[in-house]
Amino acid sequence: MAVKHLAWAWAFTIACAATLWATPVPAEVADKPVKIVAFGDSLTAGLGLPATDAFPVKLERALTVKGHSVAIINAGVSGDTTTGGLARLDWSVPEGTDAVILELGANDALRGIDPKVAAKALGEIVRRLKQRRVAVLLCGMLAPPNMGSDYARAFDAIYRDLAAVNDLVFYPFFLDGVAADRKLNQADGLHPTAAGVDVIVARILPKVEDLIGRVRAGS
């Protein structure tokens, strides 16, 4: 009799386990949020805009609508240069961060800072993040035309070369589709309006999804 009871118990246990295995686990339980830091200057911070219209907020909203579980921190500092970003990297990107959207360099170009200085700072930022196993999406920037062709050639190449050498997810120009468009920029002609941020988010979204994919894959 005891043997029959034992056999029944095993059968019941196996049946329950099979039911549990066959039940899909909700995505929100299976996938914990990917923690992303948007690390940049005023273009990331959202200068001149309500906090709810800043790039990191709108990006998180767009990703959530597409079914991604993410938490994005706005670590944009207005006026920041690549050297300034390097100086604050450790406290701006806390432990537990899975990925960084790196958007720096616009102020370097506007101030005519030597491209070699910017390249060195960005390279060190990437090196430290990779050392911490943080995935990186590098956002490129283009030098303004008034800086001259030699400066522009040296500056613009920083991002392409850095992305290639380090196998980073790369978005060539953060202001693609927005730069020089009066309807999408504030009165200063430099910072996007809320509608401009929408354009940036829509265009960069596939690259951010690639970044999330790398995090999920553990690469």
Out of 5, 149, 188, 219, pick the active-site residue. Answer: 188
| Residue reference for tokens 């120009």 | 173
Q: Is 78 one of the catalytic residues?
A: no
Residue 197 makes CB contacts below 8 A (sequence gap 6+) with: 46, 49, 53, 54, 55, 58
Q: Is 31 one of the catalytic residues?
A: no
Please measure the distance between the N-terminal and C-terminal CA atoms of the chain and give it in whole angstroms.
55
Joined tokens for residue 45: 């911070």
Out of 41, 92, 156, 191, pick the active-site residue. Answer: 191
Looking at residue 206, its amino acid is P
Q: Is 42 one of the catalytic residues?
A: yes
Q: Is 34 left (phi over 0), alpha (psi -120 to 50) or beta?
A: beta
Looking at residue 146, its amino acid is N
The neighbouring-strand residues paired with 171 are: 139
For 170, the enclosing helix (H) or strand (E) is: strand 169-171
Please calculate the CA angle 135-210-136 and round it to the nearest 5 degrees: 20
Q: Distance (Å, rounded) from C-alpha 136 to C-alpha 124? A: 13
Out of 42, 80, 108, 156, pick the active-site residue. Answer: 42
Is residue 103 helix, strand or coil?
strand
Q: Which residues are catalytic?
A: 42, 188, 191
